[in-house]
A and B are shown apart, each in its own frame.
Chain A
Amino acid sequence: MTTVKANKKGSTSKPRHKVAASPKRRGLNAIDVNVSNKLIDEGGLFLLKTGVLIGIGYFIYYKFVNRFQSLSQNSSYPAANISDGEAETRANAIFGSMSTFGNSVTNVADNLQGLNYNAFVKVYNAFGKRPGYVTSGDLNLVEWLNDQFDETQMNALRFLVPGLF
């Protein structure tokens, strides 16, 4: 107990004594305020610039990472059994089957039925990225289907176009 007290006393009294006794130190304090004000200004500007740069960087990164990457057709499989226009129509119809309340799985199924691999690629590319459920952001076709339907409904859709998603 006694040693701790002694230590405490010593450590608190020592620097106070030193600062009070040094006139140099007191003189510097006035300059210190100006310098520190300048530093704060510069520091704030620096932080602002850094923040803006990081923000722009993150925005570009986000846009890049979340861009739509189209699938390419696999030419070793049979050619697509629908045209580009039909793919566009089907993509629109799939997206249109979503209403304010819920989504019609049978409507989506009608538009996915009978697609072969390359035809599905066409529909996927025509779909691009479209908004899903309110909080989900923009999704590609496969993400969108997973977003809209439960596992049983997904199973039913996989039954129509097996081996794709």
Chain B
Amino acid sequence: MTPKNLKYLKIGTAVLAVFGLGYYIFKQDNSGNGIDPTGNGTTPPGPVTNGFNAYNVATQLYDEMKSAGYASFLNSHEADNIFSILKNVNAQQFDKVVTAFGQLPYNETLGSQVNVNPFSDLPRKGLVIWMKTELGPDSISILRNKYPNHF
């Protein structure tokens, strides 16, 4: 092998190496396996499978709804906050939230946990009844879009 050939060989190898490296750097991911930010249309779904805790979500919803009044009355940010809490919770995860919430004492007339009758306990209600009482018809309709099994 002459020195000239050796030189060409070196240049050729370098060019190949650069192209090979470039291919791996700029290769597009067309797998379709990425995590969809909407959490819609895929099973098992969700960008929030990591870090999702049904009990935490249920507690946040409870804290939001336990105070006096409804979303349309006295608590102007209640609907906003409920939607924010549930934003990354998909339908399957909401099943778990409902289970985690269980049945809690609730005064459906006042929208709070105030018991006006000292001789009997408040009836216990599930999460869906709480939310249906607190939120207006438009909000319930939008919740039904995402959680059709519950609303």
A residues with a Cβ closer than 8 A to B are: 74-79, 81, 105-106, 109-110, 113-117, 119-120, 151-153, 155-164
Which single residue of chain A is at the shortest CB-CB distance from B141?
A106
Q: Is B86 within 8 A of A159, CB to CB?
A: yes
Tell me which of B30, B40, B80, B141 contacts A114 (CB under 8 A).
Answer: B40
Q: Is A159 within 8 A of B36, CB to CB?
A: no
B138 contacts across to A, CB distance below 8 A: 105-106, 153, 156
Q: B37 CB to closest chain A CB, in angstroms?
A: 3
Q: Is B84 within 8 A of A155, CB to CB?
A: yes
Interface residue tally for chain B (C-beta within 8 Å)? 29
- Do A78 and B83 contact each other (CB < 8 Å), given the known contacts A119-B41, A160-B142, A163-B47? no
A161 contacts across to B, CB distance below 8 A: 38, 40
Pick 26 A–B contacts, CB within 8 A, sort by A. A75-B30, A76-B28, A76-B31, A77-B35, A77-B36, A78-B32, A79-B32, A105-B142, A106-B141, A109-B141, A109-B145, A114-B145, A116-B42, A119-B40, A153-B138, A155-B80, A155-B83, A156-B138, A156-B139, A159-B86, A159-B87, A161-B40, A162-B37, A162-B87, A163-B37, A164-B37
Tell me which of B35, B38, B41 contacts A164 (CB under 8 A).
Answer: B38
Given A77-B36, A109-B145, A158-B87, 11 more A-B residue pairs with CB atoms under 8 Å apart are A77-B34, A78-B32, A81-B41, A105-B138, A105-B142, A110-B145, A116-B40, A116-B42, A119-B40, A153-B138, A162-B87
B residues with a Cβ closer than 8 A to A are: 28-42, 47, 79-80, 83-84, 86-88, 138-139, 141-142, 145-146
B34 contacts across to A, CB distance below 8 A: 74, 76-78
